[in-house]
């Protein structure tokens, strides 16, 4: 095979789009995920804009209560299950993990394309559920019992869709664990592995270990709904708190599934643009594992107001605070990486810095939620909504976009306009913070979440927040237009436009199908700048 | 809303402000440091990057200091939490019943209300039950909430230290009218409270009283209908009795007199003729939920509201 042909130009066994959707090439699968996720994101974000529009005035603005309840449920389901959960691992993990490890593909390429098919199947079942049976679910994305069991809407299909998405996620996790254990190139010891790979590794374990729990839970809800057996509904002898425990045993660690690979991206971007080795490599790598482990024992902080025993609440509050420590360690090491560098200010770096700023707000507001007394006040208010959008969108979302701007030249072989990228980032930043910071204030003032209507004195804050959603929406389209334009008309990208040191920068842009002509051998740490490594 | 109307509210606010101030200092420091690095260590000002890449001292420092800070935060939260959860033994017990989408309160002497009225500076312990799904009893001015879970008895206690009327909200999503599941808590001086206690018993008697109980209880009418003239979701029942009302029947407008037959029909089969202006908010049909006697009592109550504009 001619190694100089790039993966996206190569002649495949199937013509056109079939050469992509039946491809077992990890890079093509990464791109498939990118396009699928971007499409769902536009849908999810549009629903978000409609929700904010409804909040413009008290009482009815544009939709009925039931429609509003369906909107926030569908927004949550799409954003969580179709975007942030698969997000970074399935786009950039697929595309870059094998390359960063110096491998030709993941361990199980066929399972890899299967995971995309399962993802699409799950997504389509969930989306189809909106239009058949009782219509779009109105339960909130958390599907709490017993409300979900009593709801007349179609919850079986979205739940079954989510169940299938879980299988897709487990397969990706297994694939990555095996790839990382077995396919690192010669010389790449665990402590010479790029930090992005470490983030994926920690995440993969949570995917494999925690996903089955939520899978079973969702099936139990379906069984209870369809066969009328009492697992979670107390009127049939079930326990609604059992549902919440099972749900959060997965769904809290899932937060780390989302954020750890995003943090991995930040750990790639900072040394590249500082032209300096990462500060505290081991601290960053092992803190990912610590976050994954401690993070698996903090789930019940979602349940401080449920009537769970006071002792349990105290223990879970304490454990929750422990997660803050490895997270802080990462942030301080990133800052120390900047210190003394020779910093080249480019869009990906700016995304990384915005990530640090916004993720810090997400983390600090998280401490108010982890603190028992303050949580009793702000639990289930807009404060929580603001907090998790700061971590998930302001953190993970901006990390993902940073990753996209960082690796775009590598993935598509084209450069984008630096000027327009910065304008887009500026718009996103202003829109994001206008939208969500006001939610934090409203929550602290006592505005409950999932409220169709609200008391008049919240209106000014709601209006400001809604204006933020318009700015953010413009930013999203500006950013997408910027990248699509670059993909079509951009200048050709060099193999290593940023001066990166990890293996993906040592091959051409876009990479050839087989990645490497010869499997490379690694001598230095991934970000060390000596011995000819840039 | 900024009132700290419960004894423990100021403790919650202290924990909040401690975390807020620590966070603001750290966030400002982190942000300024990033901006400083962009300026001082730009490619132009610092063409040759430094080579250091780790420090055990620094790693220890930024592990230990945050650990101390978060432990202080945990402790502040823990301390406040204990005050919020340890109800004094002499607390007045009020039972709270939550259902889609209203609150009902039952006092020790058997009185039932849809608004909570409590004496100032007296500990009150709410024992809370749900009849359908999970709700959450939330008083922002008290900084406290507790879920009301079917099949469980959860409690929330407080000692109100400020007179006034405060919002009570449902904070756990419970369906279509979740955001309308609200009521108020009125904190009265001891003498006023005692007067209220007597007043509510004397106010209404006989069939009309039964009707009022159904209105707040079995029928849950007050979720959508007010008795004081204000518009909630449905039309108010104040002054309804024997009044002339425009309804939409089979797509046409028609004037009716709200007599016994009309009210009976409007409860059992509400979608047949809908009061003009309320076409978009369908009411549940009560056929099979309320029997003949219940409706009779409700009619008496509506009569009472009409005769007795209070």
pLDDT digits (tens, 9 = 90+) for A338-348: 999 999 999 99
Which range among A218-227, A413-422, A462-471, B234-243 shows the weakest confidence by mean pLDDT? Answer: B234-243
What average pLDDT does range B82-103 have in this prediction? 94
- Look up tokens 């954020």; give the residue: A259
Report how far apart the first and last C-alpha atoms of chain B are (Å, whole number).
28
B85 in reach of chain A (CB within 8 A): yes
Has residue A521 been placed in a domain? no
Residue B31 has pLDDT above 60, yes or no: yes
Instruction: Point out the residue among A306, A322, A371 whose CB comes nearest to the CB of B15.
Output: A371
Quick: pLDDT tens for A363-417. 999 999 999 999 999 999 999 999 999 999 999 999 999 999 999 999 999 999 9
Task: Say yes or no for a CB contact (<8 Å) between B41 and A368.
Answer: no
Domain count, chain A: 1
Whether the Cβ atoms of residue B145 and residue A379 lie closer than 8 Å to each other:
yes
3-state secondary structure of B266: helix
pLDDT digits (tens, 9 = 90+) for B248-303: 888 788 888 888 888 888 888 888 888 887 877 778 788 778 888 888 888 888 88
B27 at A interface, C-beta within 8 A: yes
- Do the Cβ atoms of A248 and A295 come closer than 8 Å? no
What is the CATH T-level fold of the domain B9-85, as seen in this structure? Helix Hairpins (1.10.287)
Judged by DSSP in three states, A443 sits in helix
Would an 8 Å CB–CB cutoff place A281 in contact with chain B?
A: yes
Phi/psi of residue A152, nearest 5 degrees: -85, -5
Q: So what's the pLDDT on residue A3?
A: 53
Q: Does position B229 have pLDDT exceeding 80, yes or no?
A: no
In a domain, A4, yes or no: no
Is A376 close to B52, i.e. CB distance below 8 A? no
Residue A38 parent element (H or E): helix A26-54
Do the first three CATH levels of B9-85 and B92-202 match, i.e. the same topology? Answer: no
**What is the residue extent of each domain of chain B?**
9-85, 92-202, 206-307
Q: Write out the residue range of the structural domain in which residue A224 sits.
A: 18-506
State how far the Cα of A503 lies from the Cα of B69, in Å rounded to an integer.
Answer: 40
Name which residue leads in pLDDT, A381 or B212: A381
Task: Give the pLDDT confidence score for residue B274 in this predicted structure.
Answer: 84
Percent of chain B whose pLDDT exceeds 70: 96
More confident residue, B154 or B213: B154
Is residue A7 assigned to a domain?
A: no
Question: Strand pairing partners for B129?
Answer: B97
- Give CA separation, A198 vs A182, A360, A409, B203, in Å: 14, 21, 23, 71
Enter the tokens of residue A397: 């979302």
Domain contains A448? yes
Q: Inform me whether the C-beta atom of residue B172 falls under 8 Å from chain A C-beta atoms.
A: yes
Can you tell me the distance from the alpha carbon of B232 to that of A326, in angstroms, rounded to the nearest whole number? 50
Q: What are phi and psi of B249, to 5 degrees?
A: -125, 130
Instruction: Name A449's Cβ contacts closer than 8 Å, sequence gap at least 6.
Output: A380, A381, A382, A384, A385, A443, B171, B173
The residues near B195 (Cβ < 8 Å, ≥ 6 apart) are none
3.30.360.10, 3.40.50.1000, 1.10.760.10, 3.20.20.70: CATH of B206-307 = 1.10.760.10
The rounded mean pLDDT for chain A is 93
List the one residue out of A344, A490, A351, A346 whose CA is nearest residue A428: A351
Per the listing, tokens 């420091």 go with B29
**Least confident among A38-47, A328-337, B87-96, B109-118:** B109-118
Percent of chain A with pLDDT over 70: 99
Confidence band (pLDDT; 50, 70, 90) for B308? very low
Cα B302 to Cα B300: distance, rounded to the nearest angstrom: 5
- The model's pLDDT over A491-515, given as tens digits with 9 standing for 90+, comes to 999 999 999 999 999 999 899 988 9
Q: Please give the order of strands across the beta sheet that includes B252-257.
A: B252-257, B244-249, B273-275
The pLDDT of residue B20 is 96
The C-alpha of A297 sits at a distance from chain B's nearest C-alpha, in angstroms, of 16
Q: Is A373 touching B (CB cutoff 8 A)?
A: yes
- Mean predicted confidence (pLDDT) in B69-75: 96
Instruction: Please give the pLDDT value at position B309.
Output: 40
H or E element: which one contains B61? helix B56-85
Q: Per-residue pLDDT averaged across A145-160, rounded? A: 90
Q: Other C-beta atoms within 10 Å of B259: how many?
A: 12
Distance from CA of A478 to the nearest CA of B (A): 26
pLDDT at A532: 45
Query: What is the distance of C-alpha A212 from the center of its chain?
Result: 19
Whether the predicted pLDDT of A242 surpasses 80: yes
At residue A119, the 3 state secondary structure works out as: helix
- Which of these ranges, A174-183, B108-117, B157-166, has the smallest mean pLDDT? B108-117
pLDDT surpassing 70 at residue B205: no
Q: Do A377 and B145 touch (CB under 8 A)?
A: yes
User: Does residue A229 lie in a domain region?
Assistant: yes
CB contact under 8 A, A376 and B169: no
Give which of B25, B53, B76, B158 to mutate to test A binding, by max A Cβ within 10 Å: B53
In a domain, A524, yes or no: no
Residue B277 confidence (pLDDT): 79
Instruction: Extract long-range pairs of B21-26: CB within 8 Å, 24+ residues apart.
Output: B22/B69, B22/B73, B23/A364, B23/A365, B23/A367, B26/A360, B26/A364
Residue A510: cis peptide before it, omega within 30 degrees of 0: yes
Contact A303, A241 (CB under 8 A): yes
- The Cα–Cα gap between B275 and B234 comes to 9
Q: Which residues contact B179 (CB under 8 A, 6 or more apart)?
A: A65, A448, A450, A451, A452, A453, A454
Supply the CATH classification number for the domain B92-202.
2.60.40.420
For A46-80, the pLDDT digits (tens) are 999 999 999 999 988 999 999 999 999 999 999 99
Q: Chain A partners of B151 at a C-beta cutoff of 8 Å? A: 234-235, 239-240
Prior bond of A15 cis (ω within 30°): no
At residue B310, the pLDDT reads 36
Residue the block writes with tokens 């990753």: A403
Which residue of chain B comes nearest to A284, CA vs CA?
A: B59
CATH number at residue A134: 1.20.210.10
Percent pLDDT > 90 in chain A is 82
| Residue A171 counted as domain residue | yes
Residue A513 covered by a domain: no
Q: Which residue of A has its CA nearest to B140?
A: A446
Give A256-302 pLDDT, tens digit per residue.
878 999 999 999 999 999 999 999 999 999 998 899 899 999 999 99
């Amino acid at each position: 095979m001619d190694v100089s042909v790039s993966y996206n130009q190569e002649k495949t066994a199937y013509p056109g789009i079939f050469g992509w959707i039946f491809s077992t090439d990890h890079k093509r699968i990464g791109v498939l995920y990118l396009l699928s996720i971007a499409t769902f994101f536009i849908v999810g974000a549009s629903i978000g804009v409609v929700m904010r529009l409804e909040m413009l005035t008290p009482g009815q603005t544009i939709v009925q209560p039931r429609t509003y309840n369906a909107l926030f449920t569908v927004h949550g389901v799409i954003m969580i299950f179709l975007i942030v959960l698969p997000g970074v691992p399935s786009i950039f993990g697929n595309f870059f993990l094998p390359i960063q490890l110096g491998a030709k593909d993941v361990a199980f390429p066929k399972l890899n394309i299967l995971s995309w098919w399962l993802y699409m199947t799950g997504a389509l079942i969930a989306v189809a559920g909106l239009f058949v049976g009782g219509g779009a679910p109105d339960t909130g994305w958390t599907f709490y019992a017993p409300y979900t069991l009593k709801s007349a809407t179609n919850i079986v299909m979205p739940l079954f869709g989510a169940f299938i998405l879980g299988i897709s996620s487990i397969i990706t996790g297994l694939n990555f664990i095996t790839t990382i254990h077995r396919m690192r190139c010669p010389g790449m010891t665990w402590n010479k592995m790029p930090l992005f790979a470490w983030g994926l590794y920690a995440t993969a374990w949570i995917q494999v270990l925690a996903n089955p729990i939520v899978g079973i839970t969702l099936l139990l809800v379906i069984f209870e709904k369809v066969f009328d057996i009492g697992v979670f509904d107390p009127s049939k002898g079930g326990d609604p708190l059992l549902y919440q425990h099972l749900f959060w045993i997965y769904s809290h660690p899932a937060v780390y599934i989302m954020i750890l690979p995003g943090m991995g991206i930040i750990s790639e971007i900072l040394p590249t643009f500082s032209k300096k080795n990462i500060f505290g490599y081991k601290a960053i790598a092992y803190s990912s594992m610590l976050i994954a482990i401690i993070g698996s024992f903090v789930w019940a902080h979602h349940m401080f107001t449920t009537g769970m025993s006071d002792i349990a609440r105290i223990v879970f509050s304490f454990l929750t605070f422990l997660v803050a420590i490895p997270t802080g360690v990462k942030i301080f090491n990133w800052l120390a990486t900047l210190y003394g560098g020779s910093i080249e200010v480019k869009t990906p770096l700016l995304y990384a810095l915005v990530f640090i700023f916004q993720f810090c707000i997400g983390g600090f507001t998280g401490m108010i939620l982890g603190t028992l007394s303050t949580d009793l006040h702000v639990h289930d208010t807009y404060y929580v909504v603001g907090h998790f959008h700061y971590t998930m969108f302001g953190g993970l979302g901006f990390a993902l976009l940073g990753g996209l701007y960082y690796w775009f030249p590598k993935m598509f072989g084209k450069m984008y306009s630096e000027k327009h990228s910065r304008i887009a980032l500026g718009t996103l930043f202003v829109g994001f913070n206008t939208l969500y910071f006001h939610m934090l204030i409203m929550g602290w003032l006592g505005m409950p979440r999932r409220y169709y209507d609200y008391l008049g004195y919240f209106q000014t804050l709601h209006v400001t927040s809604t204006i933020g959603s318009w700015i953010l929406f413009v930013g999203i389209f500006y950013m997408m237009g910027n990248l699509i334009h670059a993909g079509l008309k951009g200048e050709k990208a060099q193999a290593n436009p940023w001066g990166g040191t990890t293996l993906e920068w040592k091959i051409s842009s876009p990479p050839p199908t087989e990645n490497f002509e010869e499997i490379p051998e690694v001598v230095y740490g991934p970000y060390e700048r000596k011995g000819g490594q840039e | 809303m900024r009132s700290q109307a419960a004894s423990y509210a100021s403790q919650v606010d202290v924990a909040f402000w401690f975390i807020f101030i620590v966070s603001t200092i750290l966030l400002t420091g982190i942000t300024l440091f990033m901006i400083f690095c962009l300026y001082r260590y730009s490619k132009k000002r610092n063409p040759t990057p430094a080579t250091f890449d780790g420090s055990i001292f620094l790693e220890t420092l930024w592990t230990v200091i945050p650990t101390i800070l978060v432990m202080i935060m945990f402790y502040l939260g823990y301390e406040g939490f204990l005050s919020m959860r340890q109800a004094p033994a002499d607390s007045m017990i009020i039972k709270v019943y939550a259902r889609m989408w209203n609150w009902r309160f039952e006092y020790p002497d058997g009185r039932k209300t849809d608004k909570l009225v409590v004496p100032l500076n007296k500990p009150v312990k709410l024992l809370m039950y749900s009849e359908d799904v999970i709700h959450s009893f939330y008083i922002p001015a008290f900084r406290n909430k507790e879920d009301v879970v079917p099949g469980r008895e959860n409690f929330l206690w407080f000692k109100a230290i400020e007179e006034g009327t405060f919002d009570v909200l449902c904070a756990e999503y419970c369906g279509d009218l979740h955001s309308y599941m609200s009521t108020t808590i009125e904190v009265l001086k001891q003498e006023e409270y005692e007067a209220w206690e007597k007043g509510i018993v004397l106010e209404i008697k006989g069939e009309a009283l039964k009707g009022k109980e159904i209105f707040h209880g079995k029928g849950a009418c007050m979720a959508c209908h007010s008795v004081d003239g204000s518009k909630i979701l449905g039309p108010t029942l104040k002054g309804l009795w024997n009044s002339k009302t425009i309804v939409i029947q089979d797509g046409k407008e028609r004037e009716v007199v709200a007599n016994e037959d009309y009210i009976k029909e409007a409860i059992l089969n509400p979608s047949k003729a809908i009061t003009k202006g309320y076409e978009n908010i369908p009411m549940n049909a009560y056929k099979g939920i309320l029997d003949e006697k219940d409706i009779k009592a409700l009619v008496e109550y509506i009569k009472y509201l009409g005769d007795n504009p209070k």
